Structure formats: C-alpha cells, structure tokens
Amino acid sequence: MRFPGFIDVHVHLREPGGAHKEDWDTGTSAALAGGFTAVLAMPNTNPPLTDDSVLQIVLAIAERKARCDYGLFFGAGSGNVDQAVRSADRVAGLKMYLDQTFGPLRLDEMLTWGEHFDKWPKHKPVAVHAESRSLAAVLFMASLYGRPIHICHVSRREEILMIRKAREKGLPVTCEVCPHHLFLTHADMDRLGPGRSEVRPRLAAQKDQDALWDNLDVIDVFATDHAPHSGAEKDGPDPPPGFPGLETAVPLFITAVHQGRLTYDDLVYRLFTRPMQIFGLESFQDTFIEVDPYSKWEIRSDQLFSKSAWTPFEGMNVQGRVRRVVIRGAEAFKDGNVLAPPGFGRNVVKF
C-alpha cells in the first residue's frame, strides 16, 4: 500500500547538547524506518534554539546529518521576541512552553506570551505546550491577539473538549495527539516502571484516552513527540520525561485501522494533509512510503534505529510494517535498511 510521505511535526533530535540520547543521524534514520519523510525538530536543545547563533548551528548540523527532510522550531524565550521575529522566515514555527517539561524553556509570564503573539508573523504557526488551566489561559490570550495557535500533545478529556468548544466559537486553534496517549494509560505505568513511564504530558486515565478517541474529528494531527533519553537516564534517580516514538507510530496506527478504530484516510489526513496545511511546508515530487499492512510483528527495542534504544511499546504485537520510503525519487529506506546518506535531507520550510 502506498501513502504520501508522512510528516512528524513534533520530534526532539537532541543536537546540540544531548547527542548521547539521539543525534540528527540516528533520529532521522528512525524517522525513515518509521515511515516519515520529514520531521519538525523542537528547540529544547542545549543550548536551546532561542537565538540566531544556535539557529545557525542547528541548520548546519541538519544540513550535514539529516537523512530525511526537516524543519526547525524557534523557542520562545522571555527576552527574545525581536530575535524570534528576525529568524521567523527560516523556521517552521515558534514553540512556546507554558508548562514544566524537559529543558529550560518554560514561560511563566503571561505578558511575554502576549508579546510573542503580537509580533510573530501571522502566517507562521505558534505551537504551544499548554495543559489543563494553561490551555484555558493560552486560548484566551491567543483570542485577544487574534493569533492562530497549534496545541501540542493534547492528552486529557478536559483539553480536547475545551478545544472542541473553542473551535465551535470560531477560534483558529489546531491540535495534535501522540500515539502514547492514544494507546497507553495509567494502567501501563506498573509495567513500564517509574522512570520509563515519565512523559509530559503524563500518561492519563482511561476516561481521558476514551475522550481522545471519541473526539477524533477535533484532532488535526498525529505527532509522536519523539523524546529520546537513554535507558540509564530513564532508570536513574532523576528520570527525564519523554518517550521515543518515531518507529512505532505508523505500525500502531495501522493496527488500529485493522481494529476498526481508524481508517486509512484518517491516517493520511493527520500524518500528511494537515501537517502540510498547518505548517505550510514544501512538498516534493516522488515522495511516498510503501507499507505492508498485513505483516504481523512484535515491537522490540533491539530493532530500533533510535539511539535511545528502548520503547514504551516493547512486546506489543502490531500488524503493518513500513517496507519502503522514497524521497524525491530516491530510495531512502528499504526492508529494514536506511539507504539515504547523512546530508540527504532538505529543509521543508518555504524560504
């Protein structure tokens, strides 16, 4: 079965500063193995991507190492509104962290949100991490500034219902949901153990997961929030939150199609059509993936390209395997082998 090249709008590739967790080579290899031809990389690197000098550094790393296509997010900070605006043309969007998570980018001061909303170019998306009451606050602030926003990794019933309501009121809000919130809940935490079940937003209750499925029509995008950390870090005394997800998402979704919970059209809409529309990305000819929808296999961490080398879906039986990935006419992945060399990937941000 052939699909357009899927696009993951939320991944963490960890360079600079965290290459022991993942680097642009291993992360984009994982993307290809997972059926993604393009990824949008988050700015919570070390140093974070909050100024032009770091933007130059990450663009150079990506140009040298990316095996799939890519775009970057600029991180909203408290003193970088003008810097962000000057760099806007070279990135896919602005990322605002309004709740605590991995990295130093949380913005507590609501007036700073307002400054970014005021000045960031209207045609470029603003992606926000905003849970629960922060979501209510940011929807209100965005509406005051007439600013379209994209809500990252929605995980709770109250959040998806709030977004539904906001849309009914005509607010320009889009949202994404991650596979781990659609397929895992509190009930999986014992199996995963304390460190390996840490993720932000946290795994939620069954009622939250049910609400995501019941409100599928409100979900614009499926994004992995691929957030690799090493097994040693996850099992250590202060485990960082985050799950790798690039290589397991598409097989999990195809399995859900077999179970009658999704259709193939649902997948194409949320993994290709909406990402392209919301982020206004460059589309390339002859870019597609081929999937064997009937192949049955067991998810195993020793088969992953991601340097993090673990998965919260370990041992799950899935049906559906990515066989071949073609980007701009060239075979980038085939039957378990990554064929695109480092530096093959292109920036999908329209300059």
Residues that bind ligand NCD (CB under 6 A): 12, 44, 101-103, 129, 199-200, 225, 227, 240-242
With binding defined as CB under 5 A, does residue 8 bind Zn ion?
no
- In the bound complex, what is the minimum distance in angstroms from residue 10's beta carbon to ligand NCD? 7
Q: Which residue has the tokens 């941000």?
A: 349
- In the bound complex, what is the minimum distance in angstroms from residue 204's beta carbon to ligand NCD? 13
**Structure-block tokens of residue 291:** 């999937």
Q: Which is nearer to Zn ion, 22 or 225 (CB)?
A: 225
Q: Residue 199 touches which of Zn ion, ligand NCD, none (CB < 5 to 8 A by kind)?
A: ligand NCD
Q: Which is nearer to ligand NCD, 104 or 336 (CB)?
A: 104
Close Cβ partners of 115 (under 8 Å, ≥ 6 residues apart):
81
Q: Which is nearer to ligand NCD, 44 or 174 (CB)?
A: 44
Strands of 69-75's sheet, edge to edge? 6-11, 36-41, 69-75, 93-97, 126-129, 149-151, 173-177, 221-222
Q: Which of 213, 200, 145 is nearest to 173 (CA)?
A: 145
Q: Which is nearer to ligand NCD, 73 or 344 (CB)?
A: 73
- In the bound complex, what is the minimum distance in angstroms from residue 21's beta carbon to ligand NCD? 8
Q: Which is nearer to ligand NCD, 73 or 117 (CB)?
A: 73
- In the bound complex, what is the minimum distance in angstroms from residue 152's beta carbon to ligand NCD? 7
Cis peptide bond upstream of 4, omega within 30: no
Query: Which stretches within the chain are classed as H helix?
Result: 24-33, 52-65, 81-87, 110-119, 132-144, 157-168, 179-183, 189-192, 206-214, 231-235, 249-258, 264-268, 274-279
- In the bound complex, what is the minimum distance in angstroms from residue 323's beta carbon to Zn ion? 28
- In the bound complex, what is the minimum distance in angstroms from residue 93's beta carbon to ligand NCD? 14
Q: Which is nearer to ligand NCD, 6 or 73 (CB)?
A: 73
Compute the Cα dihedral for 250, 254, 260, 266 and give only its sign: positive
Site for Zn ion (CB under 5 A): which residue of 69, 159, 225, 247? 225
How would you write 292-307 as a 3-class SS string?
A: EEEEEEECCHHHCCCC
With binding defined as CB under 5 A, does residue 22 bind Zn ion?
no
Interface with Zn ion (CB under 5 A): 225
